[in-house]
Structure 1
Amino acid sequence: MNVLVIGAGGLTGKKIVKQLAESNQHLVRAMIRKAEQTDEMERLGAKAILADLEQDFSFALNDVNAVIFAAGSGSSTGHDKTIAVDQEGAKKTVDFAKEKGIERFIMLSSMGADTIEEAPASLVPYLEAKKAADEYLIKSGLNFTIVRPGGLTDDPGTGMIELATRFSPMGGTIPREDVAHVLVESLTMKETEGKVFEIISGYTPINKALTRI
C-alpha cells in the first residue's frame, strides 16, 4: 500500500513511519508541518510531505491507498488548538479521503473517547474532540479502524497487549511502540475493519489479539 501518516513528526508518528518502512510492504509518506523534519523522515524510510492540518492539505492524499491519522495538538496547547487539530483536522482528513477514494483509514484516538464522564476534567476537551472525530469517521462510509490506547509511555514495546471494546474502569498504559505496531498491523488485517477498540499493555501477542476482535 501507499500509506500517508498524518502526524508523522510526533512521538508516536515517528514510530509508525519507522515500522511501516521496515515492514517492506508499504510505500510511506510522512506528513509533517516543519521543513526541518524532512531529513529525519527520509532517514526513517519515508517521503516527506510538507503540509498543515489547519490549511488545505488535500494534495497530501494524492496517489495514496491508506491513511493513518496520528496527529495530536499535544497536552501543552489550548482548547482552540485541540479543536483545530484533533477534531477539525481529523474531519478534513476524512473528507479528503472520501474525495480521493482512500481504501483504508486508521484513526489513532484515545481511551475514554466514549466514556468522557469517567475522565478527569483536564482531559474532557481533548476526549470530546476525539469522540467527534471518531463519530465522523464511523459515519463516513470509509473502511476504518479506530484504535483507542490507554496512557502512552516511551518504554520499549513488548509486542503484548490486552484489547477490549471498552475497559472499565478506564485506565492502563501502553508503549507508543506497541501502539504503532497495532496501527500498522491493522492496515492489512480484515478482522480490524469497521472496528473500534481500546488497547493497553498485556499478555497477548498483538497479532493474536487483533484476530480475536
Structure 2
Amino acid sequence: MENILVVGANGTTGKKVVNLLKASQYFNPIAMVRKEDQLAQFKNEGIDTVLGDLEENLAHTVKNIDKVIFAAGSGGEKVVAVDQEGAKSLMDASKKANVKRFVMLSSMGADNPDAAEDLKAYLKAKHNADEYLKQSNLNYMIVRPGSLTNEKGNGKISLQRHFEEHGSITRDDVAQTLVHSLHEDAGSNETFEILEGDTLIGKALDSVS
C-alpha cells in the first residue's frame, strides 16, 4: 500500500479524504495536523499521523511518503503564508523526498484571479501555488472545484479544463476526485475543474488522461 500524506486532514474535506483512503485497499493515509490536540481523533481510528505546520520546516512530514494530497486552507486568514508559501514549501520538501505524485486541491477561478469579484487574494495565492507546482517537475494533478457544499455526494461529476459558468459540488465528490487522482491511470500533470454532474468520477478522469 502507498503512504499518502493528507495535508489539512483536520479540515472538512480533508477528513473525508482520510476516511476514503482508510477504506481503500491501495492507500494508507497519514493525517498531517498542526496541533497536538488534533492527533487523538485520528489515532483513535488507527490512522497514522504527523505534526506539521505549513509555516515551518516540513522535511519530516514527507519521510516515507509516496504521494501527497494538499487539502489545507487558511480559511482566508493567512492566504499568502499558508495557501501559497506553505504549499510551495511542501512541494520543495516533496521533491527532495522523491514523492511520486502531488494532488492539489485548488479552486475554480484560480486560473484568472484578477477577474474574480470575491476572494481575489485567496484565488491569487492558489494561482501562484498552482503555477509553482506546474514548474516543480513533480508529477501533479490540480483539481479545481466550484463552490463546496455539505450535501451527500453521488460519485458523479462534470469535468472540464475550464467552465464558463460557476457552480457547486459536494465535498464528498471532491474528496473522491482527489483520491481517484492518486491513481496513475487518472493521468499526469493535468489541471481541471469539476462541478456537480452525471459522469462517474473514474470515467470523468479518464477524459483528461
Tell me which residue corresponds to 2:163.
167
Q: Aligned pair 1:94/2:91, yes or no?
A: yes
Partners of 1:5 and 1:70 within 8 A in 2 = yes
Q: Aligned pair 1:200/2:195, yes or no?
A: yes
Matches within 5 A, 1:117-132: 117-120=114-117, 122-132=118-128
Residue 119 of structure 1: CA displacement? 1.6
Matches within 5 A, 1:19-58: 19-58=20-59
Aligned equivalent of 1:103, options 100, 104, 129: 100
Residue 28 of structure 1: CA displacement? 1.2
Equivalent position SS for 2:69 = strand
Matches within 5 A, 1:75-90: 75=76, 77=77, 81-90=78-87
Partners of 1:154 and 1:175 within 8 A in 2 = yes
The letter of the residue matching 2:99 is I
CA distance in 2 between counterparts of 1:177 and 1:189 reads: 21
Partners of 2:100 and 2:139 within 8 A in 1 = yes
Matches within 5 A, 1:148-187: 148-169=144-165, 171-187=166-182
Residue 45 of structure 1: CA displacement? 4.4
Tell me which residue corresponds to 2:129.
133
CA distance in 1 between counterparts of 2:180 and 2:116 reads: 29
TM-score, normalised relative to structure 1: 0.94
- When residues 42 and 193 of structure 1 are mapped into structure 2, their CA distance, relative to the original with a 3 A threshold, is same
CA distance in 2 between counterparts of 1:188 and 1:49 reads: 23
Equivalent position SS for 2:5 = strand
Please provide the CA RMSD for this pair.
Answer: 1.2
The letter of the residue matching 2:90 is T
Q: Which runs of 4+ in 1 moved over 3 A?
A: none
CA distance in 1 between counterparts of 2:197 and 2:44 reads: 31
TM-score, normalised relative to structure 2: 0.95
Structure 2 runs not aligned, ≥5 long = none
The letter of the residue matching 1:194 is N
Q: Aligned pair 1:115/2:112, yes or no?
A: yes
CA distance in 2 between counterparts of 1:160 and 1:20 reads: 18
Equivalent position SS for 1:52 = coil
